Structure 1
């Protein structure tokens, strides 16, 4: 379970330092480590653009000469917002961008060698940190920042990594961690604990599909059917994406990212379907025999057929299995950016069944980690309503 200091402070006011909070959590039985969130940025220098020349072999590229502590260097840049005197962030050859395993190498671009690159907010995973930023290269507005490292001008933040034991499902969310720290007298609640709205008025709720729950292993099942306006698509805020990337979560689509963020905040997993692919009635049931199932795919992980063991909880319609409930969705009904009819599920399943199914199917997902530890059933429906409001 990972979270950041700034994320935690949405809910509580800490009474101790980040190291102190990590120690208190460890002493209470949840081993916790804490790291400087921006340690990857400590070697990136803030430099000034001293000269701009047109690239001799490419219309849309410029040669930018910047001043560094080791002397001037020239980099090839295609951003449209570069200008003389601008303070920018330089990554040199041999350095790495945040989250990138490979170092930057000197590159020949249209016949000209570039000894580094000027970075954008997105490349640095700093979207939303600096105000009034244009598209393109990140501009540092403070003249006092020249010659300093990027980490020196960023707000202090830390990353926590907690080893949550199987009996502490209540700690599988930032809110749960905050509640634990309040109980340990290491923090106290803020008056307002949900300062950031996740959505704008881009959704219209509709009547939901007919649903039948035919197994006692599904304690509750809720689904909201939502019409998305094709001319006004939902865009997850930049700070949502930044926080997810800070805890090493891969981004998917804006709607999925926003629901993933809410899950990490409050501990209720969601699954979103392309509503146009679902055929009423939807049935939640326990498999009597093993079955094949085409699991969710993404760019990094193409669709694959998996064998679902008997006894598993599934969601199905007349066309077949839609989801391995509590663990993984199906490829045929997955949400797409082009989807205009969404069905968002929030449910509560038997923890032991989810754990056993995951073990037999050799599947470990974040959803399984939460469900097999048990969730707060009293809040499932409320969280679905809040997430879509």
Structure 2
């Protein structure tokens, strides 16, 4: 929202400087973004006087002029047809930047004659469209700044209108707030009621009162759509609007002056009844911006019996617009629903001043005010004869009373404001106040944001001055209780450390995913979003794997040869709190770069299993007790997947290679190893280990390591053998590691050889050879229970 200082002073009687006004606006919540003074960019342009002008010796259309300037008499070569002796001109010396030409002047020779500066046209200085010749100024002293001669020393304030303050979309609303601070006196003139000499003859009806509650109209006959007077053109140009003609300029002026959008139709171009209704499929219209827009059933349109005239509250149409030949006009001052207006604007992409105001809310009581103000301006500038005002629908009654205990100001803010000052502030802002034990306050119709007593406290506080809020010391802090940290955050921290240490990069992706992907990863019942931010983010994710795979695909498409990603975040199986899980998800794709050790293989199911076990160990799980079950979810590759659990019912992790059909659906390369660890499914530790840190189990004695090779049926999983061996000696046996798998010569058909390294850790004394042999015998016996036999 922009306005000039002179425009503000039409509503506010003040001697405050532009800086004082800007400071006051910021203090009361009107955030000033920029102050620009046109005089600043014209500071180098001054008045010059042409003493002599003669034809250029080598060019018929050029003249050589002697010009009196602030720097003395200078010679300037000029091609303007009106360059002649005895006129005052806008002189730009060498070194001046000319915005309209995008050049910086320098000394030049034009057809062999030296030229030291320039006499400028209005277009060259961006002061208008006139480029037929140089500017001819009124008589003024040589050297006078051009801005002073043209009255352009008028700063422009640009500030941000917050959505809850639609009244400040008009200069009068800003003036009212500033007057309440004591910066001046509000002098906004109330438009005089303009009577009509005949009934409004064009029928206007409303078919949808939700979209358009009220439609005020007035016909004005015999107008002359002349160019706007200079004062109006200058005001509009100053805030960045291009003057068009008197009728269009008047509606723009009222919109900015009183936050009241209007529209003017050429009455001769209307057919039958003008209606505010919802659009129909297949309708379209040519808008004032020169584009054709399709209309649908969700949009409010203004139409006559022939065609759509425009979109209500957004933009009018070209076919019913006013031209220089227009003589009879229908002036519209209506109310449109903010939500329907906003939806229409988003669908069409139209950005207009009317849409900006209507979707934030327009004062219902401004329907007649806007018509009266526009009528008076039209009569003053264009002439004509007005009809009476016709109103279709009815003005909504927004009157409401708020019970206001004045003690709320001190209770909520700590400010000490007298009752008389509270009343003064509220009345200055347009509120009606009835004093008593508890005040009754009636907000004005232009303040839809005031709903309760806290809003009234805010109004008093911002005008009285938030910089007057009392300061106080915070009470001393008590010593913090040293409770043990919660288990889950500890596990999450350790999981992050483990994943990072393994060379995986942490990703942060959306908590949503595409619905087909959610179902593919077991999230059929995951909550769906009623208002997704994107069509492909319409459902809560069952876990992070689909998003990580898509991220991996984007990296691969940009030339990455190996990707390692993990994410620690929520997985959602339903809409209940217990359906949310804390999951560590990870994916690995592509072989890591080879080094002096040789070529590295691509990640596989065992890569995923090793990573899952590492995370579980870091989270405090005794992984020796885990069961490996092959019934992992279907988004993993059959035969290359499993889950880790404490029995068949408690699942702590899924791992495996991602199913090729899933990779194809996501359009990402494979193979991809993946794992998911469910941290919130890990049982809480008991007793003294509740912090999750196991007791130190160190020994000063050297460990003993023995290797065993067992032959067992091919279908027997290695884990079965490992568990059996671990159970042979629970006190001294600290580790069992599989280090070799062999099939081939010396091994029977359908069999395999597994080589294990067993670590024995003595606690109290060194083990004797006999003790080691006894433990070895027990290990072999335990292994034989699985169908294995010691390899000879």
| Interval of TM-score (by shorter of Structure 1 and Structure 2) | 0.7 to 0.9
Which of 1 and 2 has higher RCO (CA within 8 Å, sep 6+)?
1
Q: Any idea what SS the aligned residue of 1:72 has?
A: strand
1:10, distance to aligned residue in structure 2 (A): 0.9
CA contact (8 A) 1:293 1:307 kept: yes
1:274 equivalent to 2:274? Answer no
- Counterpart pick for 1:173 among 167, 170, 173: 170
CA contact (8 A) 2:288 2:315 kept: yes
1:19, distance to aligned residue in structure 2 (A): 1.2
Whole-angstrom CA distance in 1 between matches of 2:190 and 2:65: 43
Q: Any idea what SS the aligned residue of 2:213 has?
A: strand
1:184 equivalent to 2:181? Answer yes
CA contact (8 A) 1:270 1:344 kept: yes
- The CA deviation string for residues 134-191 of structure 1, in whole angstroms up to 9 with x for no partner, is x973325333xx235434665642110011011111001111111111122222123x
1:30, distance to aligned residue in structure 2 (A): 1.9
CA contact (8 A) 2:203 2:274 kept: yes
TM-score normalized by structure 1? Answer: 0.81
Q: What's 1:368 paired with?
A: 355
1:87, distance to aligned residue in structure 2 (A): 3.7
1:242, distance to aligned residue in structure 2 (A): 0.7
Q: What's 2:44 paired with?
A: 43
Whole-angstrom CA distance in 1 between matches of 2:35 and 2:25: 11
Q: Any idea what SS the aligned residue of 2:340 has?
A: helix
- Counterpart pick for 2:238 among 220, 235, 246: 246
- The CA deviation string for residues 54-91 of structure 1, in whole angstroms up to 9 with x for no partner, is 4668888754222442861313254658433x442113
1:31 equivalent to 2:31? Answer yes
CA contact (8 A) 1:294 1:332 kept: yes
- Counterpart pick for 1:355 among 342, 349, 357: 342
Q: Give structure 2 stretches of 5+ with no counterpart.
A: 377-792
1:342 equivalent to 2:335? Answer no
Q: What's 1:72 paired with?
A: 74
Q: What's 1:208 paired with?
A: 201
Q: What's 1:200 paired with?
A: none
Q: How many residues of Structure 1 are paired with residues of Structure 2 in the alignment?
A: 364
Whole-angstrom CA distance in 2 between matches of 1:97 and 1:286: 50
- Counterpart pick for 2:215 among 210, 218, 221: 221
Whole-angstrom CA distance in 2 between matches of 1:215 and 1:331: 24
1:47, distance to aligned residue in structure 2 (A): 2.2
Q: What's 2:382 paired with?
A: none
Q: Any idea what SS the aligned residue of 2:365 has?
A: helix
CA contact (8 A) 1:11 1:194 kept: no
Alignment of 1:229-308 (within 5 A): 229=223, 233-287=225-279, 289=281, 291-297=283-289, 303-308=290-295
Whole-angstrom CA distance in 2 between matches of 1:60 and 1:205: 58
Q: What's 1:11 paired with?
A: 11
Whole-angstrom CA distance in 2 between matches of 1:337 and 1:111: 47
Structure holding more helix per residue: 2
1:31, distance to aligned residue in structure 2 (A): 1.0
Alignment CA distance shift 1:193-1:212 (3 Å): closer
1:124, distance to aligned residue in structure 2 (A): 5.2
- The CA deviation string for residues 353-379 of structure 1, in whole angstroms up to 9 with x for no partner, is 111111121111111111111111112
Q: Give structure 1 stretches of 5+ with no counterpart.
A: 128-134, 198-202, 298-302
Whole-angstrom CA distance in 2 between matches of 1:346 and 1:57: 61
CA contact (8 A) 1:290 1:310 kept: no
Q: Any idea what SS the aligned residue of 1:383 has?
A: helix
Whole-angstrom CA distance in 2 between matches of 1:365 and 1:170: 17
Give the alignment's Cα RMSD to 1 decimal: 3.5
Whole-angstrom CA distance in 1 between matches of 2:190 and 2:105: 43
Alignment CA distance shift 1:90-1:368 (3 Å): same
Whole-angstrom CA distance in 1 between matches of 2:148 and 2:227: 31
Q: What's 2:373 paired with?
A: 386
Whole-angstrom CA distance in 1 between matches of 2:68 and 2:320: 53
